Amino acid sequence: MLSFLKKKTTPLTNIFPSNFMDIHNHLIPEIDDGAKTLNDSVELIKRMYSYGIKNFMCTPHIMGGVYDNTPEIINQKLNELQAHLKTIGLNDIQIKVAAEYMLDDQFESLLKEKKLLTLKNNLVLVELSYHSAPINLYEQLFNIQIAGYQPVLAHPERYSFFHNHYKEYKKLKEVGCLFQLNLLSLSNYYGTGVHAVALKLLNDSLIDFVGSDTHHHKHLNALENINNPKIIKLISPILKKNEFFI
C-alpha cells in the first residue's frame, strides 16, 4: 500500500478516499489571491485529480476592503468555471463553493444578514489574521453560534500566537469551534513551528477536517513532499471525515 511513497512526484496518489472532498482551496479564478485565470484553475484541478481528488469545495476569501466578494460574485465565477470544465471534457469533477470569512468588522455585518456561504448545513469556514487574534474572538464565536452557524477555524496550526499558548486550542474546541488543518502544514512549507503544532493537534485528536488551501502550483509541489509513512497514517482517518461534505 505504501509503494506510492517511492514516487516523489505524486506521493499522495491512492491515499485520498474516493469520496474525499477538498473543503478549502482557492481554485475559483480571478476572485482572490488564488488562481488567476481559467487556465490556472484547470491546470490545478487536473493536477489534484491525478492525486485522486475529484471533489472540490472552493472557498474564496471574503475580507473587508481586500476581497469584497459576495455570494453572487462567487456563484457567477463558479458557473463560469463549471461551464469551462464541461467544454474541455472534464466531467468527472464536482465543484461547489463556500467562502473563507475573515473575522473582521465586515463579517459582523454579514452575520447579521445570515446569508453566509457555508461548507455544508450550518458549518462556516472562518479565519483569523496571522498577526493576532481578535480581541473579541470568543464573543465572535459565540455570536456565530447564536446566529445558527458552527464555526470551522481554517488552519489553526498557522496562528503562531497560539503556539506558546497551546491551551487556547483546547479552549476554542470547548466553546464549539471545529478545526480544519491545512495538509500543507504537514510539509515544512509554513516552517517547522507550524509543522510541529500541526502534528500535535493531530496527535491530540483536535482536528476535525483537512483542506489543501491550494492557491498555486508551489502549494502542490509542497503537498507532493508529504511522504512520511507515519504522517500518512496519522492523517488518513481525518481524510475519511471529509467525505461528510459530499
The average pLDDT across 165-194 equals: 97
**pLDDT surpassing 80 at residue 34:** yes
pLDDT interval class at 12 (50, 70, 90): low
pLDDT in tens, 35-61: 999 999 999 999 999 999 999 999 999
Q: If DSSP codes are grouped into helix, strand and coil, which group holds residue 241?
A: helix
pTM listed for this prediction: 0.94
Count the neighbouring beta carbons within 10 Å of the beta carbon of residue 218. Answer: 11
Q: Would you say 130 and 146 are in contact if contact means Cβ atoms under 8 Å apart? A: no
Q: What is the pLDDT of residue 229?
A: 87
199/195 Cα distance (integer angstroms): 6
By C-alpha distance, which of 172, 165, 167, 108 is closest to 140?
108
Query: How big is the CA angle at 57 (ends 113 and 72), to the nearest 5 degrees?
Result: 40
**Domain assignment of residue 96, given as a range:** 2-245
pLDDT interval class at 1 (50, 70, 90): very low
Q: What rounded mean pLDDT belongs to the chain?
A: 93
The count of structural domains within the chain is 1
Residue 52 CB contacts under 8 Å (≥ 6 apart), including other chains: 12, 13, 14, 15, 16, 18, 20
203/201 Cα distance (integer angstroms): 6
CATH label of the domain that carries residue 231: 3.20.20.140
pLDDT interval class at 2 (50, 70, 90): very low
Q: What is the pLDDT of residue 133?
A: 94
Q: What percent of the chain has pLDDT over 90?
A: 89
The average pLDDT across 182-191 equals: 95
Q: What is the pLDDT of residue 8?
A: 45
**pLDDT surpassing 90 at residue 9:** no
pLDDT in tens, 213-227: 999 999 999 999 888
